[in-house]
A and B are shown apart, each in its own frame.
Chain A
Amino acid sequence: MSPIHYVTLSVILFVIGGVGVLVRRNAIVVFMCIELMLNACNLAFVAFARLHGNLDGQVIAFFVMVVAAAEVVVGLAILMAIFRARRSASVDDANLLKY
């Protein structure tokens, strides 16, 4: 099998995620874009694991999922707190920590 399609898909997903993080203001969307980037990585890992015929990449993919799950828990909790304080989910409104 040729990995090129998998890698291409992975890159496309990663770029979508990255651009989303950079350009979107809504915290939820930013969050989802981060998940998209993580999953693009997972795809690449799994594809290469399959290519090389060992399980290392798959194991790492599981790790990434676990980390992503934990991150979602913390991140959504923070989002909730910010939303309660500011009545807004825009990341630009949470800009107090600056010079």
Chain B
Amino acid sequence: MTTLHTVVATGALKLSWLLLAFPLFGAVVLLLGGRRTNRWGHLLGVAMPVAALVYGLIAFFALLGDTHRSQDQHLYTFIQVGRLTVPMGLQVDQLSISFVLLITGVGSLIHIYSVGYMANDPQRRRFFGYMNLFLAAMLLLVLSDNYLGLYIGWEGVGLASYLLIGFYQYRNTAAVAAKKAFIANRVGDAGLTLAIFLMFSEFGTVTFTGVFGSVGSGGSGVATALGLLLLLGACGKSAQVPLQSWLLDAMEGPTPVSALIHAATMVTAGVYLLVRSNPILALTPTARLAITVVGAVTLLFGAIIGCAKDDIKKALAGSTMSQIGYMTLAAGLGPAGYVFAIAHLLAHGFFKAGLFLGAGSVMHGMNDEVNMRKYGGLARLLPVTYVTFALGYLAIIGIPPFSGFFTKDPIIEAAFDKGGTSGAILGTCAVIGAAITAFYMSRVMLMTWYGKRRWSGEAESGEPHESTEPGAEHAGAPHPHESPATMIWPMILLAVGSVGAGAFLILGQRYEDFLGPVTGFPPTSHGIWSVSGVVTLILVLLAAGLAWVRYGRVPVPAVAPPGRPLTVAARKDLYGDAFNESVLMRPGQWLTRLSVFFDNRGVDGLVNTLAAAVGGTSGRVRKLQTGFVRSYALSMFFGAAVLVALLLVVRL
């Protein structure tokens, strides 16, 4: 394990706080500025991420030219209470700069896209304010040099995610989805909070260098507890089983939000947390095994859900869960997987954002219709969107030479390399997941772009599904059309990333060499082709062929057929919500009812009985106050007599 040699920031990196300051400034101006900023708000909202991107690039090249690639910029002392000292500082190293470039790069493109996508939304300024707030929080999350700063960013992105999922506040489903996301995240956050408590109580510090320096002396029990708690936190934020249920509903937000927050950046924060904590995970095989299991289960879980969804955004959301499952699996494999987890994360950021923006572009042209059964034959009408979407598709299913091939195969190989039964099981899961990915993504492709046009006849009924967004073109027959330039160019640039990112990162072990000092170098290196890679590729092609047989060769019914039990289950998110409801919500409700009953009858009952007894007794005793002087005199007489008698007894 390499330890981080962190040095004080110099040169351009001294200004790394600017990265946070730009989007934060944008958010403050847009959210506090009110209607005055409506006219130019979106321009400021775009300028801030771009400025952060420019600074990120400067910092990146400054870092490349420096031998000390982990630089720490101390900003101020955040908390100093007793033994607890939390310095607020920014740590720029290979890992965080990778995220900074992803966040600001993809973030800038999506902001530009949103200018077109949200053009008709009266709340566009608020949207950009929230998006800038998100960027600021996300950058704090990845740049902070201690767990508490990370936690602030972690909660900040949760808040921004909540606000943006519920952006269409007037829609009940959006409000409910926002609450669901917030609450599911809270469960995970509890894990992260406890992990930070544990770090402080065991090591007396929460800085990365401090914790990683002393975690070795804490014993393996502490490391295992920390690893499992951090995994719980990662599960919440990254929508991993068992906290996966919120991500599919989170698609209620505007599509750029789904692309930026719920595909490219925020949901990958869990993977960042795990990779960043690699010195802790290095000490605990138990937690690493748990992480791989969670990853493998989630990658299958998400893929199966993706197969059954007719809502294009939900199909993509299932895919996001599945791909993050791959990253989590890789992060659990130790140094063999960290680099590939992050490489896949970066490539996924490009192609999944591209796919979501493509879906947004289709919705833009289709009256915000999201049901793929009402698409079909759109390839001619939205050519640019079609091509960029297709490139993203080829990237995600892992066709060489697109990026998914380069970043997913090393994860599968690393899983097999783990050895033993667990390695074989994990590797097999990953291969099967890749095949299912090919199936559902081919399904999305075929249903959306090929086949007969299923929308012209359908839309005559005059009730387009989900056309309540403002900015939707007016109800009636959709007239699919290509999107404006502000939306097309970001998609094209992301498509370039989907094509080239994987090869750029993996070929020549470029990214291994870059990230290695932070995460450790993979023990063995593979060629581009391997047995598992070829097998995966064959399965992927077979699955795509199967999808063609099911959805390309025969016409897609406009109304979903009843389907087999597995399809029905997958449509219901594999009963994730039903499970939560029956195992957590119902007993919780019973518990609260029982508590209320106990409170009313038990606690209140005791107090009320006591009060009634005192009241009743005093009501009776009150009758002694007759108002007759002689009775008082008599009681005084007896009192005095008793007093005297007592005095005599005591004296004698």
Residue contact A94 to B629, C-beta cutoff 8 Å: yes
Q: How far is the CB of B637 from chain A (nearest CB, A)?
A: 6
Chain A residues, Cβ within 8 Å of B634: 22
Contacts of A21 in B (CB 8 A): 630, 633
Known: A18-B637, A22-B637. A95 touches B630 (CB 8 A): no
Report Cα–Cα, A25/B627, bound state, in Å. Answer: 14
CB-nearest residue of chain B to A24: B630
Contact A97 B633 (CB under 8 A): no
Contacts of A56 in B (CB 8 A): none
A98:B629 contact, CB within 8 angstroms: no
The reply to whether the CB of A92 lies closer than 8 angstroms to some CB of chain B is: yes
Q: CA–CA, A23 to B629, complex, Å?
A: 11
B461 contacts A by Cβ under 8 Å: no
Residues in B neighbouring A23, C-beta threshold 8 A: 630
Chain A residues contacting B564 (CB-CB under 8 Å) are none
Cross-chain contact of B626 among A18, A22, A25, A95 (Cβ < 8 A): A95
Q: Which residues of A contact B421 (CB under 8 A)?
A: none
Q: A41-64 CB contact bits vs B (8 Å, 1 = yes)?
A: 000000000000000000000000
Residues of B within 8 A of A92 (CB): 628-630
Is A98's CB under 8 angstroms from B626's CB?
yes
Q: Which residue of A lies closest to B624 (CB)?
A: A99
Bound-state Cα–Cα, A19 to B557, Å: 111
- Cα–Cα distance between A53 and B634 once the two chains are bound (Å): 36
Report the separation of the CA atoms of residues A99 and B625 in the bound assembly, to the nearest whole angstrom: 6
> A97 CA to B630 CA in the complex, in Å?
13
Q: Which of B170-219 contact A (CB under 8 A)?
A: none
A96 and B625 CA atoms in complex are apart in Å by 10
Binary CB contact string for chain A from 74 to 99 against chain B (1 if under 8 A, 0 otherwise): 00000000000000000110111111
Known: A91-B630, A92-B630. A98 touches B625 (CB 8 A): yes
In the complex, the answer to whether B633 meets A22 with C-beta atoms within 8 Å is: yes
Residue numbers in B under 8 Å from A18 (CB-CB)? 637
CB nearest to A34 among chain B residues = B633
Q: In the assembled complex, how far is the CB of residue A13 from the closest CB belonging to chain B, in whole angstroms? A: 16
Which of chain A's residues have a CB closer than 8 A to the CB of B630?
21-23, 25, 91-92
Whether B623 is near chain A, meaning CB under 8 Å from some CB there, is: yes
For the complex, is B83 an interface residue (Cβ under 8 Å from A)?
A: no
Residue of A nearest to B629 (CB): A91
B594-639 at interface with A (beta carbon < 8 Å)? 622-623, 625-630, 633-634, 637
Q: How large is the interface on B (under 10, 10 to 19, 20 to 34, 35 or more residues)?
A: 10 to 19
Cα separation A67 to B627 with both chains bound (whole Å) = 26
A99 to B630, CA, bound (A): 16
Tell me whether B637 and A97 are in contact (CB under 8 A): no
Q: Which residues of A contact B623 (CB under 8 A)?
A: 99
Residues of A within 8 Å of B629, CB to CB, are 30, 91-92, 94-95
Kindly state the separation between the CA atoms of A95 and B628 in the bound complex, as whole angstroms: 5
Q: How far is the CA of A23 from the CA of B625 in the complex (A)?
A: 18
In the complex formed, the residue of B with least CB distance to A21 is: B633
A64 to B205, CA, bound (A): 79
The interface bits of chain A over 3-21 (1 if a CB of B lies within 8 angstroms of the residue's CB, else 0) are 0000000000000001001
A99 touches B633 (CB 8 A): no
- Name the one of A25, A96, A97, A99 contacting B622, with C-beta atoms under 8 angstroms: A99
Closest CB in chain A relative to B643 CB, distance in Å = 14
Interchain CA distance A95-B630 in the complex, whole Å: 10
* Cβ distance A96 to chain B, nearest Cβ, rounded Å: 6
Decide if B637 touches A96 in the complex (CB within 8 Å). Answer: no
B633 touches A96 (CB 8 A): no
Neighbouring B residues of A91 by C-beta, 8 Å? 628-630
- Rounded to whole angstroms, the CA-CA distance of A95 and B622 in the bound complex is 15
CA distance A41 to B44 in the complex (A): 100
Contact with A along B289-314 (1 / 0, CB 8 A): 00000000000000000000000000
A15 CB to closest chain B CB (Å) equals: 11
Q: How would residues 21 to 40 of chain B score, 1 for a CB under 8 Å from any chain A CB and 0 otherwise?
A: 00000000000000000000
Residues of A contacting B628 in the complex (Cβ-Cβ under 8 angstroms) = 91-92, 95
Q: How far is the CA of A97 from the CA of B623 in the complex (A)?
A: 12
Closest chain B residue, CB of each to CB of A95: B627
Contacting residue for B627 out of A22, A30, A98, CB 8 A: A98
Residue from B622, B626, B629, B634 with most neighbouring chain A CB atoms (10 Å): B629
Question: How many Å lie between the Cα of A23 and that of B628 in the bound state?
Answer: 12
- Closest CB in chain B relative to A34 CB, distance in Å: 10
Most buried by B among A18, A94, A99: A99
A-B pairs with lowest CB-CB distance, top 10: A98-B627, A95-B627, A99-B622, A91-B629, A99-B625, A98-B625, A95-B628, A21-B633, A97-B627, A98-B626
Name B residues whose Cβ lies closer than 8 Å to a Cβ of A: 622-623, 625-630, 633-634, 637
Known: A94-B627, A98-B626. 8 other contacts (CB 8 A): A22-B633, A23-B630, A91-B630, A92-B629, A95-B627, A99-B622, A99-B625, A99-B627
Q: Can you give 20 A-B contacts (C-beta < 8 A)?
A: A18-B637, A21-B630, A21-B633, A22-B630, A22-B634, A22-B637, A30-B629, A91-B629, A91-B630, A92-B628, A92-B629, A95-B626, A95-B629, A96-B627, A97-B627, A98-B625, A98-B627, A99-B623, A99-B625, A99-B626
